[in-house]
Structure formats: C-alpha cells, structure tokens
Amino acid sequence: MFAKPSSERLQFITVVTFGRSGSTAIQSALNAHPQVLVRGENYNALTGLWRYWQSVVETTDRHSAGKPEHPWFGSAKLDPQEVLADLHEQVVSRLLRPKKETLWTGFKEVRYEGAYFSNSASLTQYLLFLQELIPELRFLVNIRSPETAARSGWWSEHPDAIASLSNTVEHLRASSVQLTQMLGKGRVQLVNHDEWNQDPRIIFEALTELGFPVNREILLESMTQKLHHGQHSSEKQESGGPWVNN
C-alpha cells in the first residue's frame, strides 16, 4: 500500500545514462539512504507524455476554436498547464509511487542512446520537459568510457558499439552543459564511472551539490556490494574499484 505524501515535501532526482555504465550501482546507493525511493528503468515511458504534451501545446498555440463545426473544435478550452499538472500527479502516484515516509523519489533511465535521441538538441528538449513535468527535478548524468562499456554485457554483441556509445556520451555531455547553463549546478551534475569507480568522493560531492542527503558510510557500503543483473552478470560488479579495500 502506497500512501500519497505531501507533494510539497517531496524532492526528485533522476539518473540519466546508458546501459552498463554503473547506473544500477548508483540507484542502489541512493535507495540505501533512509526515506529515499528511486525507481529503476521504465522503458522511457515519459517520452510518450512528452509527445502528448508537445501536441497539446502546439494545438493551443495555433488554434482557439470553440465551435463544433470547426476542424480544431475544443482547442479554445485546452489548458496546457492543467494537462501538465495532471501528468505530474499521474507520474508521481502511479509510476514513482512514493511511500508515506518518502522524502526523495525519482528514477533512473538508460535509454538515451541514438536510437531514442538522434542529437543533443532533442535530448536537451526532452530533459527540459522532465523538469517542467517534475519541478525542481535534479539530474545526475552518468557516463562511462565507450571503449570500456563496449566490452560489457550486451554491448559486446553490438556490431558498432563504440561508435554508438561515443555519440551517446557526446550527447549527454552537451546536454549536461546546456542544462547547467539553464538550471544551474544545483540541478545538474555530470559524473564519469571511470572516475567515481576509483574515487567515490566524486559521487558524494555531486549528490551533495544536488542537495541530496548523502550519508557517506551508507554510500560507500552500498557501492561495495556486488550486483548481479543482466547479461554476463557474473562479471565484476559495475562499481567496486580499488577504493573498496582502502
């Protein structure tokens, strides 16, 4: 049973990344904190809401028809902000489903590759929609070396993994810069698995900048746990670099 907490006290965070980048280790570390509930992937479900929202806005921008014989009948009564508010409630109550005690919620998603967003401009537009849908949403953008990720999991079977991952990393970097310029560092942080895997203080500092209530001991303990998921799950965990035994 999920009780609806006050939306005024909820804080939101999303992990923006691609597969085999250490994102599940980040998700697990976030969820190890008290009063935090960060959901996993949802097949980019919110892109459907983005298209719906764009169509509503386009309709209201171009038409204002109230007569039944008009081809755009009903557009005069459309209120995009009311639609957006309804979508927000739908996402929080049905997708994120925070518990009564939850203070931080959100989700991680890995479907930001070229097959979903062909360039950084479309990616940035979508992420800006997310912050309209979920006001004050914090973005933790996570990347990894294309050469390293290409050897991991299903990417090793991809015919052109390095090129695909290189484009994705480029788009994520560019969108991070654009979002930071618009929203500020307190809303957007870019981290690199190759770096935080060696030094977890990078994740600590990035989350702290986003206002997330980081507990260093909880973070370190969670990120040393071996994860078993997906193809080749027997391989060394996504995180857990040499700092584990330090």
Q: How far apart are the first and last CA of the chain?
A: 41
Name which residue leads in pLDDT, 75 or 51. 51
What tokens were used for 167?
A: 């484009």
Confidence of residue 128 (pLDDT cuts 50, 70, 90): very high
Residue 3 has pLDDT above 50, yes or no: no
* Pairwise CA distance, residues 158 & 9, whole Å: 43
Q: How many Cβ atoms sit within 10 Å of the Cβ of residue 158?
A: 13
**244 against 7, higher pLDDT:** 7
Domains and CATH numbers, the chain: 11-245 (3.40.50.300)
Q: Give mean pLDDT, residues 69-98.
A: 93
Instruction: Pick the range with the lowest mean pLDDT from 19-28, 125-134, 170-179.
Output: 19-28
Say which residue, 65 or 24, is predicted with more confidence: 24
- Alpha-carbon distances, residue 144 vs 26, 89, 101, 119, 163 (angstroms): 13, 33, 34, 18, 13
Total-model pTM = 0.88
- Are 165 and 151 contacting, i.e. CB atoms less than 8 angstroms apart? no
**Which carries the bigger pLDDT value, residue 7 or residue 140?**
140
